[in-house]
Chains A and B, each alone.
Chain A
Amino acid sequence: MPELSYREAVRDALSQAMRNDEDVFIMGEDIAEMGGSMGVTQGMLEEFGPDRVRNTPISEMAIVGSGIGAAIQGMRPVVEVMYEDFLTISMEQIVNQAAKHRYMSGGQLKVPLTIRTQGGAGWSPGAQHAQQVEAWFVGVPGLKVVFASTPSDVRGLLWSAIYDDNPVIFFEHRTLYGLKEELAEEIEPIPIGQARVHRQGEDVTVVATGRLVHEALAAAEEAGQQGVSVEVVDPRTLQPLDEDAIVASVKKTNRCVVAHEAVTRMGFGAEVAAVVQHQAFDWLDAPVERVGAKFTPLPFAPVMEEYVVPHATDVLEAIQKTVQRDGSS
């Protein structure tokens, strides 16, 4: 089996879909000759040509909006918004148009559009090139939201996003692009709405997304050495959310930590905590702990950036809090 990086896995899903289906095409800023700001689409121009690998002007409203129009006509566009921060510019088209056309038309239209974007701290790009905004979109009925954390997940989920008949906001994490995994040549689609249990455990469930999945796995190793058995669950899709998988895990472990890189306040973890307390209240032995970024824009200086976003040590601390709560560790 070939070894693919997360970056190559994204490219592989795009390329296989485009070989498979003339209705699939990609467009975005600098995606053609340059191969995208993160190198994801490198080589695709050579294979598919400039009509299907379309460089666009710096026009996020038109990039997303023209994707909507092509999708309404039955194509399956995948548009790239270079940084999550720039989703703010295309917000009107995503929230008022892509998400609502089907509803406002009483079911006459569908919008099979995939919007790929990426972000994430850890390389000091400063406040406008790294924030994590996935939670904003989870509150918009009509959108699906995916956030994959491994090469196999990103490939299988992107395939499903492309072939989903709804608009999907597809988040990639900048620091995961180099992560490698052996993958079969044939893509196995991963259903949207299905969580993945990365690690079985008995004492605490950590529900983590994006980069924090890997931080949680590191924290789980450390906790294991301290005698605490940690289960790590990655929802992978935030909308729809696999509530059953999360609740089943918490009912087994009786403790829950939620972890993501975005700010804690109004973060995705708040929704997970609400689901858990509502559906597994009687099983909980401790309050749900939340791990996320401190409530600041992302600072530039590396020492400040590292301080603001969460790491494995923060997840471990949260795990310890939940087990110390009732002294059962």
Chain B
Amino acid sequence: MAKVEQRRGLSDEALREFFREMLLIRRFEEKVEERFRAGELPGFLHVAIGQEAVAVGVCRALADGDVIASTHRAHGHTLAKGTHPNELMAELYGKLEGCSHGYGGSMHLYDVERGNLGANAVVGGGLPAIVGAALAFKFRGEPRVAVAFFGDGATNIGTFHESLNLAQLWGVPAVFVCEDNHWAESTPESQHSPIRDLSKRAEAFGMKSMKVDGQDVEEVNKVTARALKHARDGKGPVFLLCETQRLVGHYIGDPQVYRDKDELRRLQETSDPIELVREKLGLSDAEYEALDREVQELVDSSVDFAKAGTDPKPEDALKNVYA
């Protein structure tokens, strides 16, 4: 049975570092929205404002050598896994200095050296490869874990069920992190899933499941560490259900006509994970502002870096098709 895990404190210093990283992700995504609306960023973009605690809590629990697969809402995961904001912003501007060298864009962020095996624009598309990566770790006896991020919407697609079944069957070291923000694009969970508790889906495969308040970065980190240990110790995969909130639209510019505006405002006031850590840390205004200035400067300089970056030559499009 899944159960809500009990609290155990992190040091203030560690929590402060988590806070700083969450704030960096928030300011980064706000900047992305601003630059997108200014017409500087091609393609289309999904931000994860409201879900920062999951990205930071999970990625900060990973060991060197652990790998992740991300989703279309990938900026937070990518920054939290260690990609520099400059390289991420450069990718969004389509520059060679970008983390996917301009071949990927927001929905295909890779940073293989840092264990990011790629953000996937096909819902559920990255899950099977995480099983395979974990199988390779098991084959080689390496103490590494492969982690898949995905949303509640992905629990309805076949790859989710095939991947969880195979992972549990073979006992591979994988952790399946479900960011349950209760929306599949514009479709509420009530219209896409007949059950509310999605961990039941993992339990149906006999998989160990854990549940956590995804707005509480300290809790996410602690429960993830437990999930990773389970997987790393060879006890099999874990399904980690993070209850979170998408405090914005599906994509930048989404008018959210499908969403109750009062409820959204209420969530923004009560469930902002950054405000929750700020309160917990008891930061003074001066301390907060100093941190905020620091991350804002990083974000601003990432835009400068990206704009000064190298445009690919059109014919660079012909490279990297084959190894």
**Interface set of A (CB-CB < 8 Å, partner B):** 25, 51, 54, 56-57, 59, 61-62, 64-75, 77, 92-93, 96-97, 101-112, 141-142, 144, 165-166
Complex alpha-carbon distance, A165 and B166, angstroms: 25
Cβ contacts under 8 Å, A72 to chain B: 117, 129, 132-133
B100 is contacted by which of A69, A104, A110, A165 (Cβ under 8 Å)? A104
Not counting A65-B129, A109-B110, A110-B323, a sample of 19 additional A-B residue pairs whose C-beta atoms are within 8 angstroms of each other reads A54-B170, A57-B165, A57-B166, A62-B128, A62-B163, A66-B132, A66-B135, A69-B128, A69-B135, A72-B117, A73-B132, A92-B125, A92-B159, A93-B125, A103-B321, A105-B100, A105-B103, A108-B111, A142-B322
User: Contacts A61-B159, A65-B131, A93-B128 given: A105-B118 contact, CB under 8 Å?
Assistant: yes
User: B322 contacts A102, CB within 8 Å?
Assistant: yes
User: A104 contacts B133, CB within 8 Å?
Assistant: no
Q: Mark B283-323, 1 if CB is under 8 A from A, else 0.
A: 00000000000000000000000000000000000011111
User: A103 contacts B132, CB within 8 Å?
Assistant: no
**Interface set of B (CB-CB < 8 Å, partner A):** 98, 100-104, 108, 110-113, 117-118, 120, 122, 125-137, 139, 146, 158-159, 162-163, 165-166, 169-170, 319-323
User: B128 contacts A51, CB within 8 Å?
Assistant: no
Chain B residue at minimum C-beta to C-beta distance from A79: B132
Complex alpha-carbon distance, A102 and B158, angstroms: 24
User: A62 contacts B131, CB within 8 Å?
Assistant: yes
Q: Mostly helix, strand, loop or mixed at chain A's interface?
A: mixed
Chain A residue at minimum C-beta to C-beta distance from B120: A97
User: A106 contacts B139, CB within 8 Å?
Assistant: no
CB distance from A58 to the nearest CB of B (A): 9
Cβ contacts under 8 Å, B163 to chain A: 62, 65-66
11 A-B pairs with C-beta separation under 8 A = A57-B166, A62-B166, A66-B166, A67-B132, A70-B132, A70-B135, A92-B125, A96-B122, A97-B120, A102-B322, A142-B321
User: B159 contacts A102, CB within 8 Å?
Assistant: no
Looking at B103, B128, B146, B319, which has the most chain A CB atoms within 10 Å of its CB?
A: B128
User: B165 contacts A69, CB within 8 Å?
Assistant: no
A106 is contacted by which of B113, B320, B323 (Cβ under 8 Å)? B320
Cβ contacts under 8 Å, B158 to chain A: 61
Cβ contacts under 8 Å, A97 to chain B: 120, 122, 125-126, 128-129
Chain B residue at minimum C-beta to C-beta distance from A108: B112
User: Contacts A61-B158, A104-B104, A106-B103 given: A77-B118 contact, CB under 8 Å?
Assistant: no
User: A66 contacts B319, CB within 8 Å?
Assistant: no
Cβ contacts under 8 Å, A166 to chain B: 322-323
Which 9 residue pairs across A and B have the least CB separation, nearest first?
A65-B128, A69-B132, A106-B101, A69-B129, A66-B132, A73-B136, A62-B162, A165-B323, A105-B110
CB distance from A62 to the nearest CB of B (A): 4
User: Contacts A102-B321, A106-B102, A110-B323 given: A74-B128 contact, CB under 8 Å?
Assistant: no
Complex alpha-carbon distance, A112 and B323, angstroms: 9
CB distance from A113 to the nearest CB of B (A): 9
Looking at A66, A107, A108, A142, which has the most chain B CB atoms within 10 Å of its CB?
A: A66
User: A65 contacts B136, CB within 8 Å?
Assistant: no
User: Contacts A107-B101, A109-B110 given: A69-B162 contact, CB under 8 Å?
Assistant: no
Cβ contacts under 8 Å, B322 to chain A: 102, 142, 144, 166
Complex alpha-carbon distance, A109 and B112, angstroms: 7
Chain B residue at minimum C-beta to C-beta distance from A65: B128
Cβ contacts under 8 Å, A110 to chain B: 323
Chain B residue at minimum C-beta to C-beta distance from A27: B135
User: B321 contacts A69, CB within 8 Å?
Assistant: no
CB distance from B279 to the nearest CB of A (A): 39
User: B129 contacts A66, CB within 8 Å?
Assistant: yes
User: B110 contacts A61, CB within 8 Å?
Assistant: no
Cβ contacts under 8 Å, B128 to chain A: 61-62, 64-66, 68-69, 93, 97
